[in-house]
Amino acid sequence: MSIYTNQGLVRHAEKALALKTKYMWGGILRPIEQQYDMLFKMYGNKAGTGYSAARWNELSQLRNKGCFGVDCIGLVKSYYWSGKADGGTGSPKYGAPGYPDINASYMYQTAKVKGKISEMPEIPGLIVYSKSHPHVGIYVGNGYTIESTLGARGDGVVKRKLDSFWEYWFQCPYINYTGKLAQTASKQSFKVGDRVFVRTAAKNYSGTNIAIPACCKGKNKPFTVAGVMDGRVLLKELFSWVSLSDVEKI
Question: 135 and 208 share a domain?
Answer: no
User: In this structure, is residue 1 part of a structural domain?
Assistant: no
SS3 content of the chain, % helix, strand, coil (to 5): 25, 30, 50
Strands (E) in the chain, as ranges, are 20-23, 28-31, 67-70, 114-116, 127-130, 135-141, 144-151, 154-161, 168-170, 195-198, 223-229, 232-235, 240-243, 247-249
pLDDT tens for the 250 residues of the chain, in order: 679 999 999 999 999 999 999 999 999 999 999 999 999 999 999 998 999 999 999 999 999 999 999 999 999 999 999 999 999 999 999 999 989 999 999 999 999 999 988 888 888 999 999 998 899 999 998 889 999 999 999 999 999 999 989 999 999 999 999 865 533 333 568 899 999 999 988 888 988 889 999 999 999 999 999 988 877 889 999 999 998 888 999 8
d(CA 138, CA 134): 14
Residue 180's pLDDT is what? 54
Range of the domain at 227: 185-249
Residue at 238 is within a domain: yes
Angle between helix 6-17 and helix 72-80 axes, rounded to 10 deg: 120
Domain co-membership, 239 together with 200: yes
User: Do 232 and 244 contact (CB within 8 A), yes or no?
Assistant: yes
CA distance 223 to 199: 12
State the pLDDT at residue 183. 37
- Confirm whether 175 is domain-assigned: no
Report if residue 232 sits inside a domain: yes
Q: How far apart are CA 38 and CA 41, in angstroms?
A: 5
Residues 50 and 101 in one domain: yes
Domain count, the chain: 2
**End position of a domain, from candidates 170, 198, 223:** 170
Picking from 11, 18, 21, the residue whose alpha carbon sits closest to that of residue 154 is: 21
Q: Does 179 reside within a domain?
A: no
Q: Do the domain assignments include residue 80?
A: yes
Output the domain CATH number for residue 101.
3.90.1720
C-alpha triplet 182, 231, 220: angle, nearest 5°:
45
